[in-house]
Amino acid sequence: MTGPATPGVTARVPAKVNVQLAVGGPRPDGFHDLANVFLAVGLYDEVTATEADELRITCSGPDAAQVPLDRSNLAARAALALAERHGRSAAVHLHIDKDIPVAGGMAGGSADAAGALVACDALWDTRASREELLEICAELGSDVPFSLVGGAALGTGRGERLTPIEVGGTFHWVFAAADGGLSTPAVYCEFDRLCAAEGRTVPAPEASPALLDALRTGDPKALADTMSNDLQPAALSLFPSLADTLRTGSAAGALASLVSGSGPTTAYLAPSAAAAEDIAQTLRTSATCRTIRTTTAPAPGAQLLTAR
């Protein structure tokens, strides 16, 4: 007879939108310097870690078929990194319940990495410090540290050096996932190509003081007036139909419409929850996108839902 199954540990992790993404020229290491203002939004993946004989990944949710289930999955890489640092086996079953659009510029893979770290740390009782978790996150990818901390933060360097930002209110958002994905490296290549073609010198990226103020005061109109995404022209060049979706959202009452990160998810800042529902409804009937979601920000970072 087998005993009762060991209970798993579940971590819930938010998606993000970049309310400002200022991109510098390419660095010798191929990355770009960024001034990246992250805002965590209330769309979540859940990662459940359960003891197992070997490292195994499973995934459920509407985009599950697009998620790799081998060791290239960022959640698997996170578990392996934590296990290696603590001299233990990474035998664990990680189940990802995926609600964040895949390859949508909302840091879904990064969220899963942060969730796997927090869940494995609790399951294995490795008691990693916050600093250690942040260090592993930065090794795994530029957006992973923010998935751990959530809220709002300015990311500098390649986006991984975080300074928390105070947020003075709740912002209402609509997100439209496009039919198809965009590869983040391809969007950066297109950014470089467009800059070269236009003979543009790319200035050092800097956070907008007016935008940081808008977050601090919680003023949606001021945030809308100051949001920007330097990757948007590159994303639109690779995915031209996004321009129609952005126009539809603006005409439906969005204070501002922009591509989320490297896209192709588009984001709409609404003046109220009711306005967000109206914008979502218009986007749904326009049939230019795959799924439309309304939510609020800021959202907390990676959090355990079940304690052992």
CA 125, chain centre distance (Å): 27
Minimum Å gap between C-beta 245 and ligand ATP is: 17
Question: Near ligand ATP by CB under 6 A, which window of 68-76, 119-127, 188-196, 241-249?
Answer: 68-76
Task: Give the Cα separation of 18 and 299 in Å (integer).
Answer: 14
Is 105 among the annotated ligand-binding positions?
yes
Percent helix, strand, coil in the chain (nearest 5)?
35, 30, 35
In sequence order, the β-bridge partners of residue 109 are none
Q: Does 150 bind ligand ATP (CB under 6 A)?
A: no
Long-range contacts of 198-203 (CB under 8 A, 24+ apart): 201/25, 202/23, 202/24, 202/25, 203/24
72 contacts: CB under 8 Å, gap ≥ 6? none
Among 37, 67, 137, 153, contact with ligand ATP (rule: CB under 6 A): 67
* Cα angle 35-175-192, degrees, rounded to a multiple of 5: 40
- Candidate list 63, 112, 121, 143, residue with the active-site label: 143
Residue 225 falls in the annotated catalytic set:
no
Q: Does 108 bind ligand ATP (CB under 6 A)?
A: yes
Q: Does 109 bind ligand ATP (CB under 6 A)?
A: yes
Residue 98 falls in the annotated catalytic set:
no
Q: Does 102 bind ligand ATP (CB under 6 A)?
A: yes
Among 74, 90, 133, 302, contact with ligand ATP (rule: CB under 6 A): 74
Q: Does 143 bind ligand ATP (CB under 6 A)?
A: yes
Among 10, 20, 36, 110, contact with ligand ATP (rule: CB under 6 A): 110
Among 261, 269, 282, 294, contact with ligand ATP (rule: CB under 6 A): 261
Task: Give the Cα separation of 128 and 82 in Å (integer).
Answer: 9
Q: Does 8 bind ligand ATP (CB under 6 A)?
A: no
Q: Does 262 bind ligand ATP (CB under 6 A)?
A: yes
When the beta carbons of 99 and 121 are compared against ligand ATP, the nearer one is: 99
Rg of the chain over Cα atoms, rounded to whole angstroms, equals 19
Q: What phi and psi values does residue 25 have, to the nearest 5 degrees?
A: -70, 165
CA 29, chain centre distance (Å): 23
Q: Which residues are catalytic?
A: 16, 143
> Would you list which residues are annotated within the binding site?
101-111
Binding site residues, ligand ATP, CB under 6 A: 67-68, 72-75, 96, 102-110, 112, 143, 181, 184, 261-262
